[in-house]
Amino acid sequence: MPFEEILMEKASIQKFDMFRHLKSWNSKSFTINDLSRALHLTYQQTYNIFQELLRDMAELDPESNVKRGRHDVLERQGFRISIDHYRVYLLQQSIAFQFLDYLLQQPHPTITQFCDDYFVSRSTLLRKTTALKKFVGQFGLKFSYSRLDLTGSERNIRLVLFYFYWLIFHGLSWPFKNVAHQDMIDFQEFVNQPTLEGEVAQAQEVLMLGICVQRIQTGHLIESHDDFQIQKVADAKPIQQALAKLVQTPLTPDRLAEECHFIYFVRATRLSFALQQTQQSETVYHYFEARQDPIWHFMDYTMTYFAQRLPDDVRAEFLADAPLKTNLLRLAARIVVIQQASPDLVDFTAPLIKPEPKRLGQLIDDFLNQLHQMEDWPLITQQERFLKRFLLYFMLPYARYFRTSDLVRIRLLVEDGLATRELRLFLGTLNLVDLLPINQTELPADLVITTFDTQATMCFKTAPEAARNFYWPLNANDGQYFALRQCIRQIYTAKNQA
């Protein structure tokens, strides 16, 4: 579920959705009627939402000169505020986010004080946080109102908070009142061993460190657990001493050690889909390789199981996929330590795989059933639903090669040359596509993409057979690429719906 729908109210979602349409509008100008058609709303609904949006723009950007009339031709360039900026503005007015932020930043929160501070009744608060309660519940978390708090695994609480705050503020501003941004930057540079690759990953870790320090200062500590010490540090004492100076709450050496382990646990188990192994990924992989523990054996068994269902020419490539193996290790390690489904960035966005590929899903179901029968990894198999969701993401790039492919089978009947090279490259980027070899005739195509009239008998003895044909001009523009993508998505959805 998109995180905006978890935290925003309906009126704000409508304004934000309209604003996103405006910022991505293809033409420089538009009318209310154009917006109405794009948003599938009545003219009056669209006009009312647009007027509300303009009031927000006037507050955020007083110098903007967007026209307001019903029949005016409106210009996209008049909306100068960024999407991220407008999102923060709307969320900071949301009761659900105000409640979450209050819980994080206040040392002694009470529901009475919150209701007084934000002029909201208890019943209204409970109603407007229903989606938030349901969302965090899937990670074993719940709100306690007698002693106002977010309860459950502290590891999951921090991860949920991290993803919310990362997506909401997205580098625009520092959200914490009692934790200095520069202190966290300095601390991140101190613990950054090996160096995280890329400015985004480092900025994310700075935010996570801020959440950790904030939670420690309000008395919320990591539960004792024998975390994997994946990150080897020559001398942990300086890092523990640096953390102790940042927090106002005195901590025992054991508690400091647990907190530092969690910092490195988060960076080590963060999924990475870089094409090549990063230094951090190599550290994780070799750590478990040396241990040869149940997590390593789980990864090895998983790779073997799926490799056996691939053709010979793909199997070697699959078994050599180090990023895939490392992500399986990370996933299993999180499950074993947290013993709950744990959040990932994808949980806060619209699902990327919808609907679920039926045959790949069945293959994963068969795999999970076999795991249950073996009883070798009970902690991992207890989180079957969580595990299946990520296996779908992990295995999707290979789905076209499994013996029962449920992707959109496409046959190209086009000239071979530079004029069609961009089309082939485009199709190669789509995980939902199984591009059939030119001489492959055993499998029926779901879609034939052709530059010819299908009745061109001088080229074809018989008309191309497929459930659907798509004409492709040699001088294709962006509109044709978009239409092709939509066509493929429609076929995939129809093929995989229950």
Query: How far is Cα 282 from Cα 305, in angstroms, rounded to an integer?
Result: 23
Looking at every residue in the chain, the average pLDDT score rounds to: 86
Tokens at 406, concatenated: 């449920």
Confidence of residue 140 (pLDDT cuts 50, 70, 90): very high
Task: Identify the DSSP state of 377.
Answer: -
Tokens at 410, concatenated: 């496409």
Q: What value does the mean pLDDT take over residues 329-347? A: 90
Where do you find CATH 1.10.10 in the chain?
3-81
Q: Which of 144-148, 182-186, 291-295, 370-374 has the lowest mean pLDDT?
A: 370-374
- For tokens 């239409």, name the residue: 483
The helix/strand/coil state of 248 is coil
**By C-alpha distance, which of 167, 181, 174, 160 is closest to 103?**
160
Asked if residue 342 lies in contact with residue 155, where contact means CB atoms within 8 angstroms, the answer is yes
Query: 434 forms bridges with which residues in the sheet?
Result: 409
Q: Per residue in 423-468, pLDDT tens?
A: 999 998 887 888 888 766 666 788 989 887 755 555 555 555 556 8
Instruction: With a cut of 70, say whether residue 125 has pLDDT above it.
Output: yes
Query: How far is Cα 217 from Cα 246, in angstroms, rounded to an integer?
Result: 9
- For tokens 């991290």, name the residue: 162
Instruction: With a cut of 80, say whether residue 11 has pLDDT above it.
Output: yes
Query: How far is Cα 15 from Cα 87, in angstroms, rounded to an integer?
Result: 10
Cα angle 204-207-212, degrees, rounded to a multiple of 5: 125
Query: How confident is the model at residue 228, as a pLDDT?
Result: 58
Query: How confident is the model at residue 467, as a pLDDT?
Result: 67
Asked if residue 18 lies in contact with residue 49, where contact means CB atoms within 8 angstroms, the answer is yes
The helix/strand/coil state of 469 is strand
Fold of 408-496: Rossmann fold (3.40.50)
The helix/strand/coil state of 10 is helix
Q: Which of 5-9, 345-349, 355-359 has the lowest mean pLDDT?
A: 355-359
Q: Per residue in 279-308, pLDDT tens?
A: 888 989 999 999 898 999 999 999 999 998
Query: How confident is the model at residue 231, as a pLDDT?
Result: 52
496's CB contacts (< 8 A; 6+ apart) are: 355, 356, 357, 358, 406
Where do you find CATH 3.40.50 in the chain?
408-496
**By C-alpha distance, which of 73, 66, 17, 24 is closest to 40?**
17
Asked if residue 410 lies in contact with residue 443, where contact means CB atoms within 8 angstroms, the answer is no
Tokens at 291, concatenated: 């241990």
Give the DSSP per-residue string, 13-79.
Answer: HHHHHHHHHHHT-SSSEE-HHHHHHHHT--HHHHHHHHHHHHHHHHHH-TT------TTPPEEGGG-
**By C-alpha distance, which of 325, 332, 315, 317 is closest to 286?**
325
Please count the residues of the chain. 498
What percent of the residues of the chain are helix, what percent strand, and what percent coil, each to the nearest 5? Answer: 60, 5, 35
Q: Which of 15-29, 53-67, 131-145, 347-361 has the lowest mean pLDDT?
A: 347-361
Query: How far is Cα 156 from Cα 153, in angstroms, rounded to an integer?
Result: 5
Query: How far is Cα 45 from Cα 11, in angstroms, rounded to an integer?
Result: 11
Q: Per residue in 198-228, pLDDT tens?
A: 889 899 999 999 999 999 999 999 987 655 5
Asked if residue 356 lies in contact with residue 496, where contact means CB atoms within 8 angstroms, the answer is yes
How many CA atoms does the CB half-sphere of 439 hold within 13 Å? 0
Peptide linkage before 194 cis (omega within 30 of 0): yes
Tokens at 362, concatenated: 């069945």
Cα angle 320-323-326, degrees, rounded to a multiple of 5: 100
Q: What global pTM score does this model have? A: 0.81
Tokens at 85, concatenated: 């900026």
**By C-alpha distance, which of 281, 458, 327, 459 is closest to 448?**
459
Query: How confident is the model at residue 30, as a pLDDT?
Result: 80
Q: Per residue in 152-197, pLDDT tens?
A: 999 999 999 999 999 999 999 999 999 999 999 999 988 877 677 7
Query: How far is Cα 440 from Cα 319, in angstroms, rounded to an integer?
Result: 26
189's CB contacts (< 8 A; 6+ apart) are: none
Best CATH choice for the domain 3-81 from the list 1.10.10, 1.10.3470, 1.10.1660, 1.25.40: 1.10.10
Query: How confident is the model at residue 234, as a pLDDT?
Result: 42
What angle, 0 to 180 degrees and rounded to 10, lies between the N-to-C axes of helices 294-307 and 322-338? 130
